[in-house]
Amino acid sequence: MAVPSLDEVRAFFRRAPFIADLGVDIETIGAGECTTSLAVAPRLLQHSGQVHAGVLTTLADHTAGAAAQTLAPEGSFVVTVELKISLLRPARGERLRCSARVLKPGKQVSFVEAEVYCAEGGGEQLAAKVSATMAMVSQKHLV
């Protein structure tokens, strides 16, 4: 499968209503790799002032899926079958950045890791680490 262009991936992200509503931006795409970002807004915080864990998880899940999709067999879509997140520190700051890479691609299942960083004042701190297993599903099964 040819790696999609940045514009193609941006259009794909816009077709996912939840991702579009969150405001996830795609920054880079490559074979087995993807980087996204998200501006931190008050609606994404929990009562303690840190970014909600669900936001970190969603950002990592979608970014990992996009990285896996670049290596998926023609005619397949990637779906998450397992995801584990380790929340390393409270995510406080101005922007989240997620970087995902495929560690082991496959015809039926791929294994992906992602890291979510929180940026504030020119610096970044690792806030979460994610491991995900992605399954390849035929497009005809999704219609």
Contact 117, 109 (CB under 8 A): no
pLDDT, averaged per 10 consecutive residues of the chain (143 residues), comes to 83 91 96 97 96 98 96 91 97 97 96 96 94 91 56
Does residue 97 sit within a domain? yes
pTM of this prediction? 0.93
Q: Is residue 19 part of a domain?
A: yes
Provide the terminal-to-terminal Cα distance of the chain, rounded to the nearest Å. Answer: 21
- Please indicate, yes or no, if residue 76 is contained in any of the structural domains: yes
Query: SS3 string of the chain?
Result: CCCCCHHHHHHHHHCCHHHHHHCCEEEEEECCEEEEEEECCHHHECCCCCECHHHHHHHHHHHHHHHHHCCCCCCEEEEEEEEEEEECCCCCCCEEEEEEEEEECCCCEEEEEEEEEEEECCEEEEEEEEEEEEEEEEHHHCC
Give the type of residue at 16: A
Could you tell me the CATH number of the domain that includes residue 37?
A: 3.10.129.10
Report the pLDDT value the prediction gives residue 120, as an integer from 0 to 100.
84
Residue 141, pLDDT score: 59
Please tell me the predicted confidence (pLDDT) of residue 11.
87
Region of residue 86 (left: phi > 0; alpha: psi -120 to 50; beta: else):
beta
Query: 64: domain range?
Result: 6-141
What is residue 75's predicted lDDT score, i.e. its pLDDT?
A: 87
Residue 50 lies in a domain: yes
Assigned domain for 108 exists = yes
Any domain includes 111: yes
Phi-psi map region of 22: left, alpha, beta (phi>0 left; psi -120 to 50 alpha): alpha
* 1 occurs within a structural domain: no
The count of domains in the chain is: 1
